[in-house]
Chain A
Amino acid sequence: MKKDLNIWLRRGGYPLVLLLIIVVFWACGFEWYTDRENIIYKQSAVEAGDVAEFELRFKAYVNQDYSDKLILAVQVPKVWNPRVKGNIEVTYEVTNAEAGVTKYMDLIPTGTSPAKQPGVSWEEHLLNRFSDQDPNILDDMQWVTFVSKEKHSMSGNATWDFVAKFKIKTGPQNLRAKIGFCVYHEEDGGGDIGQNESNVWNHYIVDWGDCFEVVEGEGEVIDFCDLHFNQQTPGQATQNDILTLRFLGDIADNDLLGIEDLYINMTAITTSGEKYEMLVQTDDTKLIKESELGLTFSKTFWPEGYFNLEAGEKLSTIEYYFTNKDGSKYVSLYDDLHKNEPEENPTWTEKPVTPFVFIFQE
């Protein structure tokens, strides 16, 4: 039997087996791809609370007749409340087949799992799979996923050009962020990671646009795009959240570079103007180094307890800067604003202290 099999394979069986493999895998083929600038911002900035419009252009190739629902996900700052009904409208057209026919999509309910990732929600799946590629430097972005109302039928051996349109209501805060987009089809939702190589299908498209800005809004700019000496997590918080204030000590030259015994000096101000100061260098204000690699130091605390607020007191802001053990060297907003202009940022003791500001939400 074994001998017969070897003879058969030698006489031409190998190509037949290979052909069968190709035929079967070809039958499962459905590929997403892009071949041009695929993310279009209709505006590079909008005023706070206005609707921002974005376009995503992509293609699908199938080698046989196929019918399935389209899945589109968008990643935006959480403060835009993207899951609130009506805050995001997603539509699409197939421009080379049904130009002018607008198709609408529905928000996928919280907790729904992708077909290929049972037990994991769409939001968790997208966050986990693409966190390494996400160019936003703060973790206050949120994926929301939409599914087409109807299955979309595509004929085999054809390319289909899609243009998806996103209308997204922005929030009241000033911010800068890179908007993310992702494409799947429903039956392959969360499918294996694809590669853009021959004989390997792309199971999804994921990409981020340039930095988009919300202006004329409330508070300091929450910057998801570029690094600063300070980082505030979460970006939006009340006094009953756990707040982390970080010093990113190695993003540019600064007076605290090379010092590991660092502290944060803070002044908390209530809505009635009462001030609580922690302008000392003690264990309570000492920063911890987050990792052996890099020079990121942080203070994490529950503001209400840290400043020992009286019942009914509400925090409005925290002003803060970073300093060394004896308070002789410091880095504040002044340093951040001038970090790319070393001649404007002299190492001297009279350098102004312009504190960073964290603004609490109601």
Chain B
Amino acid sequence: MKKFRFTLFLVILTALLCSCNSFKDSEEYTAAEHEKHLEGTWTISKASRNGVDITKLMDFSEFKVNFKTDNTYQIDNYLPFLVRDNGTWKINDTKHPSQINFKEESKTEEKISNIEYLIVKGKRQLVLTFTPGYPTNRYTYVLEKEATDNE
């Protein structure tokens, strides 16, 4: 009986002490990554300003940015964005893109944005954050790739 009590005491004490700790998954997972292809025409599916969703407050549907295979891009129906004029684009890593660089034709410096490249409900999404106007105003656009015949 005494042995049982002591064992129970140890079990409860261990469980309670462990409740103050956090655990990390010890297993490592690996998977082969495919190259990400941004080429295509993207439109705005969600827009936020300073963290507040403004998608329904204005018509964002006409804005388009077309990333071409020759690494040039074209913007139609401009709205506040990272760049205004057409130019060239590149991403930092084709398998794990985390940054996109734009260079307008008329300018020498590049504009850089962190990006998230996602697939949500079967649609490819590209999330960009930028500051086109007053320095404290940050905008995030979620862009969705327009479907093409060969997709």
Name A residues whose Cβ lies closer than 8 Å to a Cβ of B: 1, 4-5, 8, 16-17, 20-21, 24, 27-28, 78-79, 81, 124, 127, 139-140, 142, 233-234, 236-242, 244, 288, 290, 298, 300-302, 305, 361
Interface size class of B (residues with CB under 8 A): 20 to 34
Is B121 an interface residue, CB under 8 A from the partner?
no
Beyond A20-B9, A241-B132: 6 further Cβ-contacts under 8 Å? A4-B1, A24-B16, A237-B134, A240-B132, A241-B133, A302-B79
List the A side residues contacting B12 at CB < 8 Å: 17, 20
Whether B136 lies near A298 (C-beta < 8 A) is: no
B1-38: contact bitstring with A at CB < 8 Å (1 yes, 0 no)?
Answer: 10011001100110011011000000000000000000
Residue of B with least CB distance to A27: B20
Q: Check A81/B8 contact, CB under 8 A, given A24-B16, A28-B20, A301-B58.
A: no
Q: Is the CB of A139 within 8 A of B16?
A: no
Known: A20-B16, A305-B78. A244 touches B136 (CB 8 A): no
**Residue numbers in B under 8 Å from A242 (CB-CB):** 47, 49, 54, 58, 79-80, 139
Chain A residues near B47 (CB, 8 Å)? 242
| Cβ contact within 8 Å between A79 and B136 | yes
A281 to B98, CA, bound (A): 46
A300 & B58 in contact (Cβ 8 Å cutoff): yes
Complex CA gap A24/B51 in Å reads 40
* Nearest A residue to B22, CB-CB: A116
> Contact residues of B with A, CB < 8 Å?
1, 4-5, 8-9, 12-13, 16-17, 19-20, 47, 49-52, 54, 57-58, 78-80, 132-134, 136-137, 139
Q: Whole-angstrom distance between the alpha carbons of A11 and B54 in the complex?
A: 64
CA A139 – CA B138 in complex, angstroms? Answer: 12
Point out the residues of chain A lying under 8 angstroms from B50, CB to CB: 139-140, 234
Set of chain A residues within 8 Å of B17, measured between Cβ atoms:
24
B58 touches A234 (CB 8 A): no
